[in-house]
Amino acid sequence: MTIKALVQRFLSERAHAAGETVEFGWFIFRIAEAGQPPRVESLDFREMASFTEDFSEAERIQSLQTAALAEYEASECPCTLWQFALVSVSYSPERDDVFLERQQPTTANDSGWYVGVLNERRDLNAPSTFIHQSLYELTIRDMRMAPYWLLPPGIVISLGPEPVYEEEVS
């Protein structure tokens, strides 16, 4: 069953109105028109808060996330695209030396993800070295991250030309 059909079925069992958003798994959808079934829109993952009736990008991201979980034989550790990651100010989407590291979240809005760069030259003890960004904003800027958001704490993913999965040693 497609994401769109699942969301419509979910909404058919609940009161809903046009303009509302609904969180469903990792995604956020907007109700364009109430009804049975409701007309639902997906984020397009191109610009902030830009919706479309084309669900192909959401379907593609879900497929990538499912494949990453299967490839690494990992159980899903849910988070939402609204949650934030701690991001090195040295990070930029063009860099090949970017890595993702997931730790246990510390607050409800924290995904537990850290986006860093190898051989960081900034003071890692200085708060000015880091910013918070939503997983949604990071995904729009750098689609290389999309497959990994549901992986559990304790892993490090390199986003270089050949992404590598590593288990963190405890």
Q: Where are the domains of the chain?
A: 3-64, 75-167
Query: What are the distances in angstroms from CA 170 to CA 101, 153, 154, 155?
Result: 14, 11, 8, 11
| pLDDT tens-place string over residues 87-134 | 999 999 989 999 999 999 999 999 999 999 987 776 666 777 899 999
Phi then psi for residue 15, to 5 deg, are: -70, 140
pLDDT at 143: 96
User: What does the mean pLDDT of the chain come to?
Assistant: 90
Q: Which regions of the chain are under pLDDT 50? A: 164-165, 169-170
What would the two tokens of residue 110 be?
């924290």
H helices present in the chain, as ranges: 3-12, 56-71, 135-141
pLDDT at 166: 55
Q: Rounded to two decimals, what is the model's pTM? A: 0.86
